[in-house]
Structure 1
Amino acid sequence: MPDDQSQNASQDGATGALPTYLRIAESLTIDIGGGRLAMGDKLPPERQMAADHGVAVATLRKALAVLSERGLIERRHGSGNYVLGGKSNIGTYALFRLELPGGGGLPTARLLDLTKTQKPDTLPYIGSFPTGIRMLRLRYLSDIPVAVEEIWLDLRWYDENALNRRTISESLYHTYQTRLGLSISRAEDVIHAGTLPDWSPDEFGLEPGTRMILVERRAYDQHGSPCEASWTWYDPSRAQYFARIL
């Protein structure tokens, strides 16, 4: 019998862990938002999906209910679940483009550091405040550490009571939306080679300075203004970047 309460490595000592059903919903949202699941596709049978995710069918159905509420799938009685698409409802994880080499992978994260500090000169423009919020994270896919991230948020969106070590969820964009009223409307990614930073934790298993794939992102708020910049260093032997151009 699958254990729905099992804890994975990314939750140890972490705050803001998402419920299992919501993690599954966000994982499927990524697949829909990234185009891996296209409009009209039929999802596998629920029992098979539950087994694939290591959960009970009841938990899987809670995840599917979230997707249905978002307008991403249609649940047809006696037939199955079908993808509707719905770019306006792709959710808070839909801009996350990393997946396991074979596809998929349940995304989780552990916050390493959160600091209010002076913006470096090399930071892309994300707002006029001279200081910003710097966050460092270790990212996982299905319990496998695949990437480290450095994220900067402009101070105009910061509320220390709403955004702190205790309140940050594994889904940072979910935290932005529910606690700050910030919705990320779009993002621009540039992908090239980079070297692993010196703050990378031992758990990642690679030495600082190791050559990696680097994704540089600038994200925009619901008003169309730049609000966040990030760098994601990922190991191409553990993860791949996926996006379908439609």
Structure 2
Amino acid sequence: MQDLPPTPLYRQIADLVTRDIAAGRLLEGERLPPERAMAATHGIAVGTLRKALQELVDQGLIERRQGSGNYVRGVRSVGGLYGFFRLETPSGPGLPGAQLISVDRLEKPSDAPDFGAAPDAHRIRRLRLLDDGPAAVEEIWLDAGRAPGFGADRIGPSLYRSYLTEFGLRILRVEDRVGIGRLPGWGAALGLAAGASVGHVHRLSWAQDGTPVEYSRTWFDPDKVSYVNRLK
């Protein structure tokens, strides 16, 4: 198993705020806490926090108002990155991470829905982490025609960020079907026996041009995390 490159601290904080916006914990127009208070909450320097906030400004997710503070503004465009990551710990969203298990180029699975025009796809298997603890294993199939030259060296902790920066591919919409499944044999990194009954998510994802480009399956430990979707 391969640890993916560590995410810089400022980007980890930016991603946490992005997740809060996507999940509805931060609403459009809401004022963020004062910068010094936010820095203290996360145990980081104010300069690191300001770098994180600038990243969010650059993404159009917050705006800075001189003399007033920082306000949420990009609820409708949050998408991608961690915007579609729906697993949370009982105490809150948790800091997401990932370890790479394998990357292969294979014929698309026969039981998958239609996605992309190529007959084959890049299959990515990963262990997903929350607060450094195992939370889920996932198998992602990305249409090979949309990601030429795809490989392990082009995958970062946020797969959707990698799609965007490496291939100009932005995931704007997903459809999830949640149920119960059996943990596959390759999913031992989750810490459960093969065949154990776990939470299971089928996902189909659409790119910015309106076409489905990715199909994934996620198996998660319901004793450690829950699938959360907030409507607003």
TM over 0.5: yes
Poorly superposed stretches of 4+, deviation over 4 Å: none
**How far apart, in 1, do the equivalents of 2:227 and 2:19 lie?**
12
**How far apart, in 2, do the equivalents of 1:136 and 1:209 lie?**
17
Matching residue of 2:166: 179
Q: Which segment drifts farther, 232-241 or 135-144?
A: 232-241
Letter in 1 for 2:62: I
Letter in 2 for 1:228: E
Q: Which segment drifts farther, 55-64 or 84-93?
A: 84-93
TM-score by length of 2: 0.92
* Maintained 8 Å contact 1:72/1:90: no
Q: How do residues 1-246 of structure 1 correspond to structure 2 at under 5 angstroms?
A: 13-160=2-149, 163-202=150-189, 204-246=190-232
* Maintained 8 Å contact 1:15/1:167: no
**How far apart, in 2, do the equivalents of 1:135 and 1:197 lie?**
14
Q: Secondary structure at the match of 2:124?
A: strand
* Maintained 8 Å contact 1:113/1:135: yes
- 1:189 positional shift: 0.6
Report how many residues are paired.
Answer: 232
Encode CA deviations 1:25-52: one digit per residue, 9 max, x unaligned: 1121111122121113232333333233
Letter in 1 for 2:228: F
* Maintained 8 Å contact 1:70/1:90: no
* Maintained 8 Å contact 2:204/2:212: yes
**How far apart, in 2, do the equivalents of 1:18 and 1:43 lie?**
23
TM-score by length of 1: 0.87
* Maintained 8 Å contact 1:32/1:90: no
- 1:150 positional shift: 0.4
Letter in 1 for 2:197: R
**How far apart, in 2, do the equivalents of 1:155 and 1:167 lie?**
14
* Maintained 8 Å contact 1:212/1:234: yes
Percent identity over the alignment is 47
Relative to structure 1, the CA distance from residue 91 to residue 230 in structure 2 (aligned partners, 3 Å threshold; closer, same or farther) is closer
Encode CA deviations 1:58-90: one digit per residue, 9 max, x unaligned: 212211111122222233344432222332244
* Maintained 8 Å contact 2:80/2:171: no
**How far apart, in 2, do the equivalents of 1:238 and 1:224 lie?**
34
Q: Which segment drifts farther, 227-236 or 124-133?
A: 124-133
Q: Secondary structure at the match of 1:66?
A: helix
Unmatched 5+ residue regions in structure 1?
1-11
**RMSD (Å) for aligned C-alpha atoms:** 1.8
* Maintained 8 Å contact 1:150/1:231: yes
* Maintained 8 Å contact 2:10/2:52: yes
Unmatched 5+ residue regions in structure 2?
none
* Maintained 8 Å contact 1:138/1:149: yes
Matching residue of 1:7: none
- 1:235 positional shift: 1.4
